Amino acid sequence: MRILVAAERLGRAGGMERYVEIVLAALAERGATLHVLAREVDAVPAGVTAQRVAWADEHDPPDGAARSEARRALAEFGPDIAVAHNVMDAGIVTELRAAPRLAYHIHDHRPCCPNGDRVFPHSGRNCTRALGRACVLHAVTDGCAYGLRPRTLALIRRREQLRDAIAAADTVIAASRYVAERAAQSRIPRERILEIPLPLPDDAYAEQVAAPAQRSIVFAGRVVPQKGLGSLIRAVSRIAADARPLVRAFGDGSELAAARDEAARAGVNLDAPGRVPAETVRAAIDAAALVVLPSLWAEPFGYTGIEALARGRPVIAYDVGGVRTWLDDGVNGVAVPAADERALAGAIAALLDDRSRRERMGARARRDAERFRAAPVVGELLSAYRPG
């Protein structure tokens, strides 16, 4: 199979890039011929060719020159299918429709949300409204997009054009039911949407589940308001001082310095070195008692969650977005009401103090992680990519 892939970035920048890297490697191993178009190219996996095509940023109108480049690449490569990963330039998606088949992967909320995160700027509440008129209303009441400015209408219209281009794809792939439902709500045909989870490479799995070496919990992700590290710090500060765990936080972002300051003021022992290699995060998870996912936005999936399951660690998470795709409350972890820091503190303290329950949950977590192995997930993708 000849597959033309379009992605924002090729290289290890974040969750979506890691996903593309894992899937490209697995597809190449299965004999697919792969050519990638990307706005930014940091590294090209073995067995893959790539070229940079600087299409429009998510806030800008479609780029005509980039669309012409995509047209030429399509003609020269001659794919059996074009696969787009969160491409935000409607012109590129429309051009890819000329391939025999088109699959579009929705990785986050940006394709159906002018804000990009489905969070109302003024209130911090999560939005569950369809793309369109509601966005105009909430630009006035909640400061969405650019607020009460003419360019807000232009941005909403560009999102609608992108939505229409995605709706014309043969198949649309979402990693969670939550994202699938939001896409369908915004008029992407539900019968074309497939729910296929994110994959984990084999090296993400612990062959033997290690016993915790310390009373610590792990956070891994971007350190931005939506990911909730500050909320986790405040929750831990509610635990009695002599019982508070060490919080090990891995990731970089705009709120890292503020999180370190907040932890120091609250008397929370925070180890936050910034961005580190995946191997370092895995070692920290192996040494920890559990992993916490305190996302305040409607997490599209929660990749950190399945990474924790694969190491045999239970996860405590705010019950938001797509986390129930992998989190079975009371079985492989604990779901806590969204943004309820008192409840989060109670769940952390209770699980830290109940070794037998942690071990039962950890064993189940490791078993549940098997369904996210790259091989079966990529098998599902290949089935979705083939006609019929």
- First-to-last alpha carbon distance for the chain, in angstroms, is 15
- Other C-beta atoms closer than 10 Å to the C-beta of 106 total 24
How many Å apart are CA 36 and CA 198, to the nearest integer? 20
Give residue 210's pLDDT.
86
Helix (H) or strand (E) run with residue 335 in it: strand 333-336
Does residue 388 register a pLDDT over 80? no
Q: Is the pLDDT of residue 199 over 80?
A: yes
Single-letter residue type at 108 = D
**Rounded average pLDDT over 163-172:** 97
- What letter would DSSP give residue 329? B
Tokens linked to 67: 């669309």
Mean pLDDT of the chain: 95
Q: Which of 206-210, 225-229, 236-240, 369-373 has the lowest mean pLDDT?
A: 206-210
Rounded-to-integer distance, Cα 8 and Cα 151, Å: 24
Residue 210 — φ and ψ, nearest 5°? -80, 145
Strand arrangement, sheet containing 2-10:
48-52, 33-41, 2-10, 81-85, 102-106, 171-174, 193-195
Q: Does domain 2-199+373-385 have CATH number 3.40.50.2000?
A: yes
Q: Which residues, in sequence order, are CB contacts of 355 under 8 Å at separation 6+?
A: none
In the chain, CATH 3.40.50.2000 covers 2-199+373-385, 202-372
The model carries a pTM of: 0.94
Judge: domain 202-372, CATH 3.40.50.2000.
Answer: yes
- pLDDT-derived band of residue 16, with 50, 70 and 90 as boundaries? confident
Average pLDDT over residues 343-369: 97
Residue 173: pLDDT over 90: yes
- How far is Cα 136 from Cα 9, in angstroms, rounded to an integer? 30
Could you tell me which residues are beta bridge partners of residue 333? Answer: 315, 329
Identify the band that residue 13 occupies on the pLDDT scale cut at 50, 70 and 90: low
pLDDT band at 225 (very low <50, low <70, confident <90, very high): very high
Overall average pLDDT of the 74-101 stretch:
97
